[in-house]
A = this chain, B = another copy of it.
Amino acid sequence: MSSSRPGKILVAQGGGPTAVINQSLVGVALEARRHAGIERVYGARHGVRGIVDEEFVDLTQESTHNLEQVALTPASALGSTRDKPDLAYCQRIFASLKAHGIGQFFYIGGNDSSDTVRIVAEEAARVGYPLRCMHIPKTIDNDLVGNDHTPGFPSAARFVAQAFAGANLDNAALPGVYVAVVMGRHAGFLTAASVLARKFPDDGPHLVYLPERDFSMERFLADVKAVHQRHGRCVIAVSEGIHDASGEAIASQLAGQVERDAHGNVQLSGTGALADLLCEQIKDRLGIKRVRGDTFGYVQRSFVGCVSDVDQREAREVGEKAVQWAMWGDRDGSVAIHRVGQYAVSYELQPLAAVAGKTRVMEDRFISDSGTDVTEAFVQYLRPLVGTGLPEAHRLRAPAVAKVLAGR
């Protein structure tokens, strides 16, 4: 038991929002409210920024019904931040936590956020403050090491699959080339999720470009030309993070002025430039007339009404488990999802240093030899995650009518 630690807990949300990040928040809040040793459950507004600014709300005074409704709402209900604390920032965090009698800190976020938790935990240990620090995984990029997958990814993957299923039908109705750019800086999981849109043998996406493989414009144009000749159309999924052999992002080659966030990451989303560049190349170099590009952008991570029920359940559980380990365990850590059979999961507590700041990319066994498709192993991996009731496309099977005029 953690009776030696102060009796308040603090939960916060960092990084990009997901469709289920509030499930984890509510998992923490409702589980914590069960424990007599927990005096208050505070939430910090806008992540670590809200801690240093003392922007806290008292989740102990929330109704259970409203918490359940918030759990079903996408995007961080507490607000988020891109701040990455340095030592001085961490000292301000401690001052705030100490002043408010916080004994347990739960941070829901991706690999940047897990690194924040690691730094905070190290600083707490250094100054001898009894703080339990728990990282709760979240990221649509699915790029946390030590996890089978991460909450938020399955719902975003479902959106991408449904979007490509529609785009494929649209492209079949009005044939041409369609390019859609999907989020994912280093890891191609979300782009690869587009393959769940396929049902019939000639369904798109016909080509999938991942950041795990070097991108060559010449190879790309040859690929598109070949598919277009075969099917009379072509649907293409492209990760925003594609880069050339030197590692430079194709998207950042476009912009003279590159925007970087507090983590030093180049801004890739929120612009249609990459899709537009690829479309122009296809038009100019291949002479194909109908070429259309979409960039899924922010819709893919926060769309209201497209969620995996499996993802909802697991996101709730990682929040619950974090509190249980904090109360009954004896160490800090990061909650991780492991797969048990096809399909069930178990949860484990990883050391913070095992996940913090590291990036998982798609394993080679998930990428086809061509480098422009996934393997059946990836499809088997992904299918149970996106949940039940995925809509399915259907085609007319009516027989053709014999021509009368032709050949007369």
Contacts and interface: CB of A to CB of B under 8 A. Distances in A.
Given A298-B292, A302-B166, A393-B73, A173 B399 contact: no
Contacts of A304: 162-163, 165-166, 169, 391, 393
| Oligomer: number of copies | 2
Nearest to A275: B272
Interface of A: 13, 16-17, 42-43, 46, 53-63, 66, 69-70, 72-82, 95-96, 99-100, 162-163, 165-167, 169-170, 172-175, 178, 180, 269-273, 275-276, 279, 291-299, 301-306, 390-391, 393-401, 403-406
B269 A271 contact: no
Given A17-B173, A395-B70, A397-B62, A299 B299 contact: yes
Contacts of A296: 299
Given A302-B170, A304-B166, A61 B279 contact: no
Nearest to A404: B99
Given A299-B163, A405-B96, A56 B400 contact: yes
A174 B81 contact: yes
A39 B110 CA distance: 62
B306 A299 contact: no
A75 to B, nearest CB: 3
Given A70-B396, A78-B396, A292-B297, 13 more contacts: A58-B399, A59-B398, A61-B398, A61-B399, A74-B393, A96-B404, A99-B405, A163-B299, A163-B303, A170-B302, A270-B291, A292-B298, A294-B295
Contact of A293 (B70, B270, B293): B270
A223 to B, nearest CB: 20
Contact of A76 (B43, B76, B173): B173
